[in-house]
Amino acid sequence: MTPQEIFEKVDHTLLSVTATEKEYITLAEEAVKAHAASVCVAPSAVRFIKDKYGDSLRITTVIGFPNGYATTATKVAETLDAIAGGADEVDMVVHVGKVKEGDYDYVLRDVSAVRAASEGYVLKVIVETCLLTEEEKIKLCEIVTKAGADYIKTSTGFSKAGATVEDVLLFKKHIGKGVKIKAAGGIRTLEDAEKFIIAGADRIGASAVIKGYYNK
């Protein structure tokens, strides 16, 4: 794959707690130059990016991030606020504790509520694979599909590990028709990104892939 073919699948990401407006501008400029799929930024940065760049790039933000244990009402409010601010795509985190309890009805209601709030926009569901058993990963593939989300996403990048090719292959086997895969967490080079795309990822979440290419 060419670098450009890879960049077009990358959500160029900046979710550092110390991120400044200057850093967001650099991120956005790199994303525009690379024709990235989107920039992925904190909710508080969405309006700033939208006001400065308009429709020249797509904006992704995160919901219930990074732990996923906010109430459903809070996640819905975050989603509505993000969309009102100019977000095109939202990446929500599931309630991993409820997954561990086996309360899959709660998890489905949680995802479905955010899906309803984000109707007409792209919804990616972060399941934090490093904390899950294979059985839990398969069950979440079913839930994400049933809820009508657009993507299942491997990781926040804020837990103990990130994406693996094995998880992408597992998702590919168990997600329903129309659901895509986003791999994120620890993907730092073009070679890494290409490996995940070949395995079946339709989108890559990464902070270093584009930055590393333009800042060699």
Closest alpha carbon to 205 in 192, 213, 166, 215: 192
Active site residues: 91, 153, 182
60 phi and psi, to 5 degrees? -110, 140
CA distance 89 to 102: 28
Could you give the 3-state DSSP secondary structure of residue 63? strand
DSSP letters, 95-111, are -HHHHHHT-HHHHHHHH
CA dist 17 → 98, 109, 110, 176 (Å)? 26, 29, 26, 35
Q: What is the rounded (10 degree) CA torsion for 93, 95, 100, 104?
A: -100
* Tokens 């839990």 sit on residue: 136
Closest CA to 46 of 141, 167, 38: 38
